[in-house]
Amino acid sequence: MSGRYPAGVGSEGRSLIVARTGRDGLTLYICADPQNFKPTTGVLAVLDDSDAEVGSPKHFARWREWLRWSNLLQFLTVPRHGETMPLRMAEVWTRKSADVFADAHIPLSAVDSGRIDVAFAPGDGWREVLRYTDASLAPLVVELAQRGLVVPEPGAEVGPDESVWQVELAWPAAKVAVVIDDNPDREAWLTAANWKVVQAGLAHEHGALADQLFDHVGGN
């Protein structure tokens, strides 16, 4: 599937857009971060509802195709609880309603994703962390890698034998865990086991979080 980057965005950018046409002529736009496509994939299905089209056999066929795609796209990856931004959203816009929504904020456009130095190339260990960690923590992970922090275990499982919970990042030797959601039972167990729990779900200042983690864990 070939695609193009939006105007002004090079291959180092974070958005790839692929235009396609459905079986009955429905216009489709598929967009994603090519470096992390699974949780960031979005699809825009465009149905022309202009007066010249509505009521025609072509419009009816494309309307049915739009319904089929709408049913299918509900199975796109759902955001994890506690994220600061949605990875998916649903809006139904038509040519007649587009002006009403023109000034509305789209959540993805209103979120500051933080600065990532594209010239920095993380080592193999950190690339694995980026691959398996929630996309909302990517700026923090890059910041930690740049500072030379000990590589964490992504998606680690913690807890007693009878109950196991997942954390986003863990340094078992230092007993430090990063989480993005709220789980009182998990946090209570970690605290009782002398773990330090860092909540990153609502944080926007990755530098401060990186400072805190460096103090707890240290560098290589």
* Tens-place pLDDT, residues 157-175: 998 877 789 999 999 999 9
Q: Which residues contact 61 (CB under 8 A, 6 or more apart)?
A: 24, 25
3-class secondary structure per residue, the chain: CCCECCCCCCCCCCCEEEEEECCCCCEEEEEECCCCHHHHCEEEEECCCCCCCCCCHHHHHHHHHHHHHHHHHCCCCCCCCCCCCCCCCCCCCCCCCHHHHCCCCCHHHCCCCCCCCCCCCCCHHHHHHHHHCCHHHHHHHHHHHHCCECCCEECCEECCCCCCEECCEEECCCCEEEECCCCHHHHHHHHHCCCEEEECCCCCCHHHHHHHHHHHHCEC
Whole-number average pLDDT of the chain: 75
What's residue 203's pLDDT?
56
> For residue 167, what pLDDT is reported?
92
CA distance 85 to 106: 11
pLDDT, residue 208, reads 86
pLDDT tens-digit map of 51-99: 888 888 988 898 888 888 877 776 666 554 444 444 445 555 555 555 5
Answer whether 218's CB lies under 8 Å from 174's CB: yes
Check residues 7 and 141 and name the one with the higher pLDDT. Answer: 141
